[in-house]
Each structure stands twice: as structure tokens, then as C-alpha cells.
């Protein structure tokens, strides 16, 4: 009886990486589409940094008061439109935890949602992301390039970039859990 319980636990441990991968892929895919564009923490800054790297700007320039780069004004229109929604909410609460966030309706984001790549650029700062190594942005750079080449809207582009980043994170997590499961298995053998 005891041996079969151990066998069941070991079988479950071997399957955990697969369960994780399925759960992570489903959850992150849903989150990529239900989270309003540019509402993720530092998402406008992270997007600007990836767009700068896509253009070959490995080293940021000094903008007005922080490091940045020349970014497509269509992308900036989408970011600024969503930032305006967030700023209206932030005025409602004096404390970070008391902000009255609510749903971002399609009507509220309509102007920003229609933003397209303009081909024109403007210098903007993305300060806190300027020091991150460029390699971390590889999935985002690929996503932004595909999106620009296929002429997606900026919102659709961001969702593709989010999804590629999520897939990479899920893959890295899965690989690590597979490695850990193999280590456990070798200790039992």
C-alpha cells in the first residue's frame, strides 16, 4: 500500500512541469488580452525601451530629465491616451492603495486604440528601464518588429509583444521545473 502512494506522488511530481506549463500558457494568454494596453507596471517605459532597441539605440540619449530615445509618435499617442485614463483615476485617491481603478471601457480607450505606426519620432524618456540589459528585451523586440511589418495597430502590437514575453517566461519556468524534477528523480534513483 505504501509503495503505491510513493509511486503516485512521484508520478505527480513528474507531471508538475507539464501542469505548470499548461496553466501558465492559458493564464498569461488571457492576461495579455484582458489587461488594458499600457496599464502593466512600467509598461510604457518598457515598451519605449524595447522600441529604442529595435531601432538599434543600445545606449539611451538624455531626454528632458531622464534617459530615453526617439520613439514612434503613433506608439506615443497610444501610450499617452491610456496614461490620461490612469491619471484621471489617480486624482481620486491620495494614497496609492486607495485609487479607484475601474474597467477601462472600449469607449474610453477608443482614441488610443486606433493609433497606428506613424513613422515619425519624438524623444521621450524611459528612465528606470535605461539600465536593463538589451538581451532581456529580445522577445519584445521580435514582437514589435513583426507587428510593425504586418501593420498592426499599436494596441494589437502590444498584445503580441506581451504574449511573446509571456510565452518566454512560461518556457523558462517550465525548463527550470523540468530541471528540478530531473534532479529530484536522480536523487531517488
**Alpha helix positions (H), 55-153:** 73-90, 110-113, 138-149
User: In whole angstroms, what is the distance from residue 80 CA to residue 21 CA?
Assistant: 35
Q: What is the mean pLDDT of the chain?
A: 84
Tens of pLDDT, residues 84-142:
887 776 666 555 555 555 667 777 788 888 899 999 999 998 878 878 889 999 999 99
What is the side-by-side strand order in the sheet with 61-62? 61-62, 67-72, 121-125
The three grid cell numbers given for residue 171, joined into one nine-digit string: 518556457
- pTM equals 0.81
Residue 71 forms beta bridges with which residues? 122
Q: What's the pLDDT score for residue 1?
A: 47
Q: How far is CA 69 from CA 23, 26, 35, 49, in A?
A: 37, 34, 26, 8
User: In whole angstroms, what is the distance from residue 148 CA to residue 49 CA?
Assistant: 16
The three grid cell numbers given for residue 130, joined into one nine-digit string: 535605461
Q: What's the pLDDT score for residue 50?
A: 96
Q: What is the CA radius of gyration of the chain?
A: 21
Better-predicted residue by pLDDT, 87 or 35: 35
Picking from 3-12, 54-63, 171-180, which range would have the lowest pLDDT averaged per residue? 3-12
* DSSP category for residue 16: H
Query: Is-contact 28 169, C-beta < 8 A?
Result: yes
Amino acid at each position: 500500500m505504501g509503495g503505491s502512494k510513493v509511486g503516485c506522488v512521484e508520478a505527480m511530481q513528474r507531471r508538475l512541469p507539464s501542469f505548470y506549463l499548461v496553466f501558465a500558457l492559458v493564464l498569461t494568454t488571457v492576461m495579455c488580452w484582458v489587461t488594458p494596453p499600457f496599464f502593466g507596471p512600467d509598461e510604457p517605459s518598457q515598451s519605449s525601451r524595447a522600441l529604442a532597441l529595435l531601432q538599434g539605440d543600445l545606449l539611451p540619449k538624455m531626454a528632458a530629465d531622464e534617459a530615453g530615445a526617439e520613439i514612434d509618435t503613433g506608439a506615443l499617442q497610444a501610450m499617452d491616451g491610456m496614461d490620461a485614463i490612469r491619471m484621471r483615476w489617480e486624482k481620486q485617491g491620495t494614497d496609492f492603495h486607495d485609487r479607484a481603478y475601474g474597467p477601462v471601457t472600449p469607449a474610453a480607450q477608443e482614441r488610443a486604440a486606433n493609433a497606428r505606426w506613424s513613422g515619425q519620432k519624438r524623444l521621450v524618456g524611459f528612465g528606470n528601464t535605461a539600465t536593463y540589459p538589451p538581451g532581456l528585451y529580445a522577445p519584445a523586440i521580435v514582437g514589435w518588429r513583426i507587428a510593425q511589418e504586418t501593420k498592426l495597430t499599436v494596441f494589437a502590437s502590444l498584445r503580441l509583444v506581451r504574449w511573446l514575453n509571456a510565452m518566454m517566461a512560461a518556457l523558462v519556468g517550465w525548463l527550470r521545473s523540468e530541471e528540478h524534477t530531473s534532479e529530484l528523480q536522480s536523487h531517488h534513483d
